[in-house]
Structure 1
């Protein structure tokens, strides 16, 4: 099984390429949660993700013959960038298979780092199958995203940094996709500190680990569906499973809505941009998915910041909806002059701000002398939404909340 010595050896292999990322105390999230929260900002790592650590750790072990033949891997985006940069720095040719619908920003970044990109498959697992075909056909070395002890050890260097900067650590919260990250971090912290908890977090739409631990064998999902594309994996690796079973104290899940709220709070309160997978650890803390004591020192690992701008827009909007900062309403008005003005007066009195208004006189669900109106409104929170709805209904309007 992976050991602390393996992680320490990996640090020597990756230190010339990987940055030592900040560990910052967060007054905002400490106040919100009641814990003593320190954020491990791995989203500030080179390539925007922790994956460069594991990739460099593995590529540094290649023989001269393997370097000449090149490497191949599969990735939804972050491991792709890590392998591309690590290989380029080592003078090794790299070929990366990515899902056909991988975020365009991650595809472009992988190419900029020197990797040859092959788009194939609907998700990571289908891309991986294609990468193994290329491995056999071209004699390349396959650099696994997580089921490799050198990769796991490289990711574990994050744990070394956490322990060095936060020796009073009580709990570290780590995302789980394929399991390489949490395997490395749990090894680094558990073998150095006593009574430290390691909490693993998966997205509900890609959650296989808890069931695997319960049944004692790796369980594989038929499909995955989550905004956290960096951890959208059908099942964890064999080597990580052994470590998780031994060293991880608890595995919890978070919904896409909870991820969106955490991502929005990070952006708004701390000016920190993360991707969906990078927000799941904080989401688990804010959603109280695991128990902790008041003032307990908790370190959520923000594992990546490579979010597509279109996705970011959608996630922010979802976060606003979930926290009552944005609401879409529908009602029916008499089709006469002044009807809309009367409704808008009620809304203005409640100090809600209007983003958009849409009229529809053609709906078969309303009378010939009526018009259906949808309003997109900026609000100040869940209590404000309830006050607004109460005021509108008090004036005799039947109103439906769409989102």
Structure 2
């Protein structure tokens, strides 16, 4: 690594990485294997410690290694742990050959000089949906390619809605959704649950409503932003959403919905397996925009990236490995395993043909947006922190939505 890159690394706070991880990914613990000295061995670090040796994911890594004529030394880390280790390894010029990282971390690592751009490493991203690729772009350059995406939508309990006399096809915007919640409450059931906790998870869950109002992360105090926070505040005031949302994680919010009394729950693709175990008929609806249509929800999921190496001769093989992992068939297999929506229209079509339940998720992903898009990069974590603080202040009653967002914008500036 060039000395200038090392200097940039020294300026990156590890807390920035921690702040943007964990909103939509699983976690666990991994080993701390370093890169082997054998030039025929390539190291891969990923955030999937739940996949042990013999799993489909590890088999795929080995198969791609064999195709490229090299051996793979793979380590699975906790999501935030992986990002921090990537920064430290780069400082020591000991980066992995391939990093699979949570998408909002890409811009942080890129700005720190950890990653090569696709312009430099020649990785082909032409088939990737532009809105998903944007999560890995910074200062006009692209760093890596998405291996899959997940996002948020509304799960709904068909029985609860039927008993309340709600036709799900009538729910097209905020007004009709709120009217549905009123009917559900009048029928003696519970309305909607979500996560508004004071962490990145809270921001992650608020963003579809924020963006669905037409708000921008660079203007937290806009009238559109106030309308989104007022919507949530009014739902709590009317009893359409429980006060527990203030402390709910996405997991505890799901547990509330799984109890069978709630009409709606905002959650992600990663709950599909749990939805099938819930014991009641459910459906999925993209989060509606304020005036209709699908709101942009934030994308979760990972990017396959190629870190900067002192030995630039390794890039060609690293590119072969990344290309193999994100080939059409391998994307289909991997994203099915991870409950992800593929990042290309070609594979998305194949997924829906195999499983019609994925159709609303594909629609949601096509409307989705990266949290660091709009060239926010490493400023996103600062904005997000103020956003979740504003949500907490408004929902707890400490401040009005307008005052909470005014304070948030002032703090960001």
Q: Specify the TM-score bucket, using the shorter chain as the normaliser.
A: under 0.3
Query: Greater RCO between the two (CA within 8 Å, min separation 6)?
Result: 2
- The structure with the greater share of residues assigned to strand is 1
TM-score (norm 1): 0.26
**Computing the radius of gyration over CA atoms, which structure comes out larger, 1 or 2?**
1
